[in-house]
Structure 1
Amino acid sequence: MRLGFSPFNAELGYEEAFRLAARLGMDLEVAYDLHEALPLPDPRALRATGEALGVGFTLHLPFVEMNPASLIPAVRQLSEDRLKRALEFGEALGAKVGVLHTGQVPVRHPMALDLAREALEKTLAALLPLPFPIALENLALAEEDLIRGPEELQALLDRFPQYGFCLDVGHALVELGPRGPFLYLEALSPRLLHLHLHDNHGRKDDHLPVGAGALPWEKLAPHLQGFAGTAALEVGGGMEGVGRSRERLLRLLAP
């Protein structure tokens, strides 16, 4: 497993994040939303710095004020356009994988659900062919989240074999309790490309350092050993939170 971390969750600027990643032998997960909102380095500048320091990248595709499953055609189209720009950004960055949220629906009415699923599939189809691997992330933190549970996500991935799966262990804990990550792995491990690793107490998406919440890491670790893909720590706590989480994971994953 190639381990990275999210500077956004750790509340680190790129200068600090690059230093930490180079010292620990980690990658960075870039939050594309920040590059839309703030004057930040362009992807080629980030890539050059990463190549000089031995730091690679994964990319979190936009999710702020974005809904690829919107019932409103203009909103869905805007989401598609933003995602296409993010894919161009990720290709220039040399991203190993990108992570995509699957959108929301305002009410769980049968007609609204059908229209939202149709909209989401239009968006996913419009992004093909993918310039680099893209993983759909389990979400289901709110009633509005469209795709819920391993079965729905598996069905979507069966219709779109070009995409892979990102297991967010913290989201799975909030949605389904301590068995959540295992249920997602049981259904979708053959499609697993990327991991989001952080902790919480099972009530909300706290993004705590590894071991600071209720996730059963000791039971989960054997399922992660031998995983050859990428992973990102989405933890708060600054440099200390990243470093402590990394050390805890390395101990858990040691043969």
Structure 2
Amino acid sequence: MDVGLTVGDSLERTDRTIEGFEFAELSIGDSVDTDDIDVNRLEAILADAHADLCVHLPFKQVLVTPVPEINDAIVEYLTRLLEWAGSVGAQKAVLHGTARDPHDTDLRPLFADQLTRIATAADDAGVELVVENVGHQKRGVPLTVLGDLARETETAVCFDVGHAFMEDGDDGVERFCSRYGDLVSHLHVHDVRSRGDTHLPIGAGEVDYDIVSEHLAGFDGTVAVEVFTDDVALLRDTARRTKSALDLDS
């Protein structure tokens, strides 16, 4: 298992925080287009830290709409980003599981089709696509629906533990891990408080990580610490707690 760090779209933050982590998860396509990323600097930062690269595809871009032309454009756009990701050696690309109306059941076959097309583009680029649960957000597909669609399309999952807690508490974490844990290739770990605070260091919130331990002990995929701080000690502590929760060597 490799434990990495989400770094947003900032090479400066990557440089400040990545040491000691095994990969950086860099956000692309929202506020910073790939043409504006200094690839030489990115590669130098990662080389100095002996770290690999994953990417997070645009947060604001929905995956599916009712309009075929817009859906085609979404695939074309994400294909361009995936080709860039492949060109710089990214291992995985995280995609939010979103729809214009996530509760419109008529969109679900279209969601599956879009997901399949984007996963194919990722395969062609040499990158593994992982679809992330964001059901707590306005356009996020509900947890169980996302799991069913990922299984139907044979798409790997980025399971965000904190997002699942925000959507349906510890029951949501338990339900997803028990039903779809075999699909999880990538984890986002952070802590959450039910009053709405999120992306906290593990131990600062209310998530019962014993549930994760029960279902994902020995996990051999990739884990990204997604804690919104540049305090390296806190970031490393969450990495240590994650390894302990997953019953892996510290």
**TM-score, normalized by the shorter chain, greater than 0.5:** yes
Count of residue pairs the alignment pairs up: 242
1:58 matched to which residue of 2?
54
* Cα 1:122/1:222, change in 2 over 3 Å: closer
CA deviations on 1:213-245 (whole Å, 9 max, x unpaired) are 110124433433311110111111213441332
C-alpha displacement of 1:79? 1.9
2:111 matched to which residue of 1?
120
CA deviations on 1:67-122 (whole Å, 9 max, x unpaired) are 121123343233212211121122112122111112223374xxx430x2233233
CA deviations on 1:34-88 (whole Å, 9 max, x unpaired) are 432893323x652354234311111111222x11211233432332122111211
Indicate the SS of the match to 1:202: coil
2:62 to 67, 71, 74: 67
* 2:129 equivalent to 1:138: no
2:93 matched to which residue of 1?
98
1:185 matched to which residue of 2?
177
Give distance in 1, aligned partners of 2:136 and 2:13.
31
Indicate the SS of the match to 1:232: strand
1:148 to 142, 146, 149: 142
Give 5+ residue unaligned stretches, structure 1: none
1:245 to 238, 243, 246: 238
Please say if residues 65 and 99 of structure 2, whose CA atoms lie closer than 8 Å, have aligned partners that are also in contact. yes
* Cα 1:121/1:248, change in 2 over 3 Å: closer
Give distance in 1, aligned partners of 2:163 and 2:21.
26
Give distance in 2, aligned partners of 1:16 and 1:98.
19
- Which amino acid in the other structure matches residue 175 of structure 1? E
1:82 matched to which residue of 2?
77
1:172 matched to which residue of 2?
164
Give distance in 1, aligned partners of 2:134 and 2:226.
14
Larger RCO (CA under 8 A, 6+ residues apart)? 1
2:153 to 147, 156, 160: 160
TM-score by length of 1: 0.83
Identity across the alignment (%): 25
2:3 matched to which residue of 1?
3
TM-score by length of 2: 0.84
Give 5+ residue unaligned stretches, structure 2: none
Give distance in 1, aligned partners of 2:49 and 2:229.
23
* Cα 1:213/1:133, change in 2 over 3 Å: same
Please say if residues 199 and 226 of structure 2, whose CA atoms lie closer than 8 Å, have aligned partners that are also in contact. yes
Give distance in 2, aligned partners of 1:122 and 1:86.
19
Indicate the SS of the match to 2:18: helix
